[in-house]
Amino acid sequence: MSTATIDVHEAPAGSHVNYLNARYGVKSWLLTTDHKRIALLYLVSITLMFFVGGTFAVLMRLHLIEPQGALVQPETYNKLFTMHGVIMVFFFLVPSIPATLGNFLVPMMIGARDLAFPRLNLLSWYIYVIGAIFTLYAVISGGVDTGWTFYTPYSSSFAHTQVIPTAIGVFITGFSSILTGLNFVVTIHKMRAPGLTWFRLPLFIWAIYATSIIFILGTPVIAITLFLLGLERLLHIGIFDPAIGGDPILFQHLFWFYSHPAVYIMILPGMGVMSELVTCFSRKRIFGYSFVAFSSLSIAIISFLVWGHHMFVTGQSIYAGLIFSVLSFMVAIPSAVKVFNWTATLYKGSISYDAPMLYALGFIGLFTMGGLTGLFLASLATDVHLNGTYFIVAHFHYIMVGGAVMAYLGGIHFWWPKITGRLYPDGWARFAALVIFVGFNLTFFPQFMLGYLGMPRRYAVYPSEFQVLNVMSSAGASILGIGYLIPLIYLTWSMRYGPAAGPNPWGAKGLEWTTPSPPPTENFEEIPVVTEEAYDYANTTVTRG
């Protein structure tokens, strides 16, 4: 096999025509069908939503510094955690990696000029924005206080807040997910470059593919559920409210049938990013390609069968509990396989500590903790005590923030030179990764302890014996908040002032790195022909030109 050479210091391609400067003006952005520009539209929108949701989180943590509540009335606190959850889950985490990095990278990684349905792609973004506007309207016009889980009959018959506008917002945004998922599935099936067989695909594509399947199969269920909730609230037809003949537990079954797979919508793409980062920064082919690829698919499938583990204390039958428990344990296994494979990939590698790699290593650690604490909740006997406490809050934040957000930031840092054509200050980026890692652990580790000590979640005030751990958590949250602001600043700065990046500053494999940075509108002048496995670092020499 011939040995390829990558020059990481190859001169940037001057003022070449690329997707960013091909056209100018607001209209050229709002009417674009270029997947890369749409990715940037998403990036701006979800970043905005992330900081709105993050502000609510900071206010909550400040409030909880004192047992009797330091900042707001309980009603307001209830709205804060609800809006935090709704915005972070539906408007940041779900679209985060698929709609930004996925949109940008899927065509580029498979050697295509765009997604299969470019106009549908733009429509997805508009649908997302309309959904977001409804939800932000709900925030501004008084907020909503049902919890992001919208449990009935509280949400259907008792809450006096903006349940309907929020539900409409989430309902609408769901269609954006469905269309994006559909677009990815068709694109990955039909538009791979010649020679790019399924088992030569980068694992990021496998992860996006698995995610897309959940988008398509799961999202309609949350749409139906919220539609029924709206009907119940407006017309009182008696689906969920027992006072008029409904069943409140039915809502939970429907809600978690989507919302548990949704957890994997959030984490699977992050796992895909991880496989790209770990291979590039250790210059190794992934260890156990097919195990990593199929673990994504098996996670996607099993994720549809575990929803009942959210309901162990609702009085569901003991036998149903046993089945959901064993299935939940089964999800742990492919997740563990992934962690072991990433770790083994490092063996005998050539490991560098660039900022994206620090995020990746942070991910492995935090995801491991998040996954293992899931075992406490799959275990029936301990779940009875831990359900509904801060232990749950800590567990899913380790997965969603420690896992998904770390991977998202790692991915943004990794592909930033490709997306913008600019380099960011590496020192600042490493510093931010460290601050986020420390802040995160200080915020959420004490919450595991609070949970076992018995502090229920969603409490605006709490018994004073829980104060010390709460103060630690709040201190961590302020560090974490600063940690997230630092990248916002230097990444924005780098778009104008960062040094120009060559086509491949990391010496990475993958078709996206064969294009100039930023890539031209059509991505590839000629559609590439693929003749090698993914991550063929062993036959590539990286030079510093």
Partner 1 sequence: MIGALQFGQDFLSAVIQAPQLRPEAASSIAEGVDHLYFALTFITLFFTFVIFSTILFFMVKYRRRAENERPPDTEEHLGLELTWTIIPALICAGLFLWASSLYFENSRPPSASTEIFVIGKQWMWHIQHPEGVREINELHVPVGVPVKLTMTSEDVIHDFYIPAFRVKKDVIPGRYSSLWFQATKVGTYHLFCAQYCGADHAEMLGWVYVMSPADYEAWLAGGTPSQSMQQSGELIFNKLGCASCHLSEGTGRGPSLVGVYGKEETLKNGDKRLVDEAFIRQAIVNPNSVVLTKYPAIMPTFQGQLNEEQVLQLVAYVKSLASEERKTEGK
Least distance between partner 1 and beta carbon 433 (Å): 14
Angle, vertex CA 339, rays to CA 335 and CA 342, nearest 5: 135
| Token pair in block for residue 45 | 């929108």
Among 22, 224, 344, 479, binds partner 1 (CB under 8 A): 344
Half-sphere exposure of 39 (CA within 13 A, CB side): 25
Among 51, 117, 137, 151, binds partner 1 (CB under 8 A): 151
Site residues (CB under 8 A) for partner 1, limited to 395-414: none
Helix 118-140 × helix 35-63 angle, to 10°: 20
Return the number of the residue (204 or 251) whose C-beta is nearest partner 1.
Answer: 251
Kindly state whether residue 459 participates in binding partner 1, applying the rule CB under 8 A: yes
Least distance between partner 1 and beta carbon 382 (Å): 5
Kindly state whether residue 482 participates in binding partner 1, applying the rule CB under 8 A: no
Helices of type H across 72-162 = 74-86, 103-109, 118-140
Q: How far apart are CA 256 and CA 322, in angstroms?
A: 17
Q: Which helix (H) or strand (E) holds 213?
A: helix 203-235
Peptide bond into 98 cis (omega under 30): no
Least distance between partner 1 and beta carbon 7 (Å): 10
Peptide bond into 153 cis (omega under 30): yes
Q: Which positions from 266 to 285 touch partner 1 by CB under 8 A, shown as an x/- string?
A: ----------------xxxx
Kindly state whether residue 493 participates in binding partner 1, applying the rule CB under 8 A: no
Q: How far apart are CA 309 and CA 160, in angstroms?
A: 30
Least distance between partner 1 and beta carbon 381 (Å): 4
Return the number of the residue (22 or 337) whose C-beta is nearest partner 1.
Answer: 337
Least distance between partner 1 and beta carbon 540 (Å): 7
Q: How far apart are CA 237 and CA 133, in angstroms?
A: 28
Residue range at the interface with partner 1 (CB under 8 A); choices 22-30, 52-60, 135-143, 450-458: 450-458
Half-sphere exposure of 541 (CA within 13 A, CB side): 8
Site residues (CB under 8 A) for partner 1, limited to 347-366: 347-353, 361, 364-365
Residue range at the interface with partner 1 (CB under 8 A); choices 52-60, 162-170, 369-377, 481-489: 369-377
Kindly state whether residue 387 participates in binding partner 1, applying the rule CB under 8 A: yes
Kindly state whether residue 336 participates in binding partner 1, applying the rule CB under 8 A: yes
Residue range at the interface with partner 1 (CB under 8 A); choices 37-45, 142-150, 231-239, 437-445: 142-150
Return all residues near 317 (Cβ < 8 A) that are at least 6 apart.
none
Grouping H, G, I as helix, E, B as strand and the rest as coil, residue 151 is coil
Per-residue DSSP letter, 22:
S
Least distance between partner 1 and beta carbon 307 (Å): 16
Site residues (CB under 8 A) for partner 1, limited to 298-317: 313-315
Kindly state whether residue 445 participates in binding partner 1, applying the rule CB under 8 A: no
Return the number of the residue (18 or 478) whose C-beta is nearest partner 1.
Answer: 478
- Can you give the three-state secondary structure of 233-260, one letter per residue? HHHCCCCCCHHHCCCHHHHHHHHHHHHH
Return the number of the residue (139 or 331) whose C-beta is nearest partner 1.
Answer: 331
Kindly state whether residue 127 participates in binding partner 1, applying the rule CB under 8 A: no
Helix 426-453 × helix 390-397 angle, to 10°: 160
User: Could you write out the DSSP letters of every residue in 161-205?
Assistant: S-HHHHHHHHHHHHHHHHHHHHHHHHHHHH-PPTT--GGGS-HHH
Surface-to-core class of residue 465, CB atoms within 10 Å of its CB (0-12 exposed, 13-18 middle, 19+ buried) = exposed
Q: How far apart are the first and last CA of the chain?
A: 23
Kindly state whether residue 326 participates in binding partner 1, applying the rule CB under 8 A: yes
Least distance between partner 1 and beta carbon 203 (Å): 13
Nearest 5°: phi and psi at 5? -130, 135
| Token pair in block for residue 130 | 């309309």
Q: How far apart are CA 126 and CA 120, in angstroms?
A: 10
Least distance between partner 1 and beta carbon 393 (Å): 12
Residue range at the interface with partner 1 (CB under 8 A); choices 93-101, 141-149, 209-217, 262-270: 141-149
Site residues (CB under 8 A) for partner 1, limited to 220-259: 242-243, 247-249
Kindly state whether residue 164 participates in binding partner 1, applying the rule CB under 8 A: no
Kindly state whether residue 373 participates in binding partner 1, applying the rule CB under 8 A: yes
Return the number of the residue (20 or 450) whose C-beta is nearest partner 1.
Answer: 450
Kindly state whether residue 456 participates in binding partner 1, applying the rule CB under 8 A: yes
* Torsion angle of C-alpha atoms 198, 202, 207, 209, degrees rounded to 10: -40
Return the number of the residue (428 or 452) whose C-beta is nearest partner 1.
Answer: 452
Q: Which positions from 42 to 81 touch partner 1 by CB under 8 A, shown as an x/- string?
A: --------------------------------xx--x---
Return all residues near 436 (Cβ < 8 A) that are at least 6 apart.
362, 406, 409, 480, 483, 484
Give the total of residues touching partner 1 (CB under 8 A): 96
For residue 128, give the amino acid letter: Y
Least distance between partner 1 and beta carbon 377 (Å): 10
| Token pair in block for residue 162 | 């903006």
Return the number of the residue (36 or 284) whose C-beta is nearest partner 1.
Answer: 284
Kindly state whether residue 382 participates in binding partner 1, applying the rule CB under 8 A: yes
Site residues (CB under 8 A) for partner 1, limited to 497-526: none
Least distance between partner 1 and beta carbon 331 (Å): 10
Kindly state whether residue 18 participates in binding partner 1, applying the rule CB under 8 A: no
